[in-house]
Amino acid sequence: MDRLQAFESMLGAVQRGYEEASQKMQALNAQGKEKTVTYKQHMANKLLYMNMLSLYRLYGLLDQDPAQQSFPAGGSPL
């Protein structure tokens, strides 16, 4: 596996991780379990993945996502 393939594989894993964490948070939220440790762990994972994707965008390795381009002061993508 060359570097580009490794990057593409990692990018896919990060994007899937972000989506999975988001979905699990939504499911827990629907059950009223947003104060559980599990929910908080998924939130931490989502923030980690979001940070990684932001770094990819910063260095031009990933196209800008219109849904996450900017947030108002005090705003949150969560």
- Transcribe 27-66 into DSSP letters: HHHHTT-TTSHHHHHHHHHHHHHHHHHHHHHHTTSS---G
Mean pLDDT of all residues in 46-55: 96
Residue 65: the pLDDT is 64
Average pLDDT on 56-65 reads 86
Rounded CA-CA distance 12/49 in Å is 11
Q: What percent of the chain has pLDDT over 90?
A: 74
pLDDT at 78: 55
Domain count of the chain? Answer: 1
Domain that holds residue 14: 10-57
The mean pLDDT of 1-23, rounded to a whole number, is 95
Give residue 11's pLDDT.
94
**In a domain? residue 42:** yes
Structural domain includes residue 48? yes
CA gap 44, 42 in Å, rounded: 5
Q: What is the mean pLDDT of residues 17-45?
A: 97
Asked if residue 73 is part of any domain, the answer here is no
Q: Per the domain annotation, does 49 fall within a domain? A: yes
Contact status, residue 21 vs residue 45, Cβ threshold 8 Å = yes
